[in-house]
Amino acid sequence: MHELDAINENGIALIPEVLARNEVGMLLRRLETSSLRRSRAGVRHLMSNDIVAELARDSRMLAIARSILGNTAFPFRATLFDKSPDANWLVVWHQDTALPLRARTELLGWGPWSVKDGINYAHAPTDALEQVLALRVHLDDSTEENGPLRVLPGTHKLGVLSDEEVERLSRELKADDCLASTGSVLAMRPLLIHSSSKSQTDLPRRVLHIEYAGSASVGDGLELAIA
């Protein structure tokens, strides 16, 4: 199945071997020598990092994003998830609904609002989130043992759901584990219900999560911030 068909049907698609393993190794070495402000789970707001921004704008990454979002797609937010024995966590079933915005404007369907590292965030309505795609670059093999991404295929079609609806669907639907090799990319819609369990191994599971949008304008005068 072509990634566009898989994204439309399931909300997720695996594109193998986007980066060679030696490229990933070089990327990791460069990241290790740069000054990253790490939290327990990894590093947020990485589009200001030249190394990450370079990868986000790599022709191979843009080709994937633009095949799904159109020729104007651009990266606006990047996060490094770094799951290891020293930083191991459980992520409950959820949708990704908060977007970074250049300015705060009180509009129907947007909110609640918050500020993270000086950037305005608001939970967005369905039509704005449907313009967004995440590309998850695997910097390690993602296996059944090291806390892989788990998804409920097709749930991106249901719009923004309440916590109660998400919890109910997690009981009723069959989950898929997203196993992927180093250098592969998982393309994912933010409204796809997803989670991950704790790692059961000493092997790391590092993922660079880069988000793209078809336009900086997400409606009603609101514009995405670069984060």
Q: Give residue 126's identity as a one-letter amino acid code.
A: T
Note the pLDDT of residue 86.
65
Q: Which has the closest alpha carbon to 126: 72, 59, 191, 206?
A: 191
Stated pTM of the model: 0.95
Please name the residue ranges forming H helices in the chain: 3-10, 21-32, 50-56, 59-69, 126-129, 163-172
Helices and strands per DSSP (H, E), number in the chain: 6, 13
Cis peptide before 112 (omega within 30 of 0): yes
Note the pLDDT of residue 84.
62
Token pair, residue 200, equals 């059961």
- Enumerate residues 6+ apart whose C-beta is below 8 A from 8: none
- Give the span between the Cα atoms of 118 and 160, in whole angstroms: 26
The one-character DSSP state at 104 is -
Note the pLDDT of residue 146.
83
Note the pLDDT of residue 211.
98
Note the pLDDT of residue 224.
98
Which position has the token pair 């009180």?
106
DSSP assignment string, 25-56: HHHHHHHHTS-----SSEE--GGGSHHHHHHH
* 120 three-class SS: strand
- Give the span between the Cα atoms of 77 and 188, in whole angstroms: 14
| CATH ID of 3-213, from 2.170.8.10, 3.10.180.10, 3.40.50.300, 2.60.120.620 | 2.60.120.620
Tell me the pLDDT of the chain (227 aa) as tens digits: 577 788 999 999 999 999 999 999 999 999 888 877 766 567 899 999 999 999 999 999 999 999 999 999 999 999 998 866 566 567 899 999 999 999 999 999 999 999 999 999 999 999 999 999 999 999 999 988 888 899 999 999 999 999 999 999 999 999 999 999 999 999 999 999 999 887 777 778 899 999 999 999 998 899 999 99
Token pair, residue 184, equals 């592969």
Handedness of CA 59, 121, 68, 156 (dihedral sign): positive
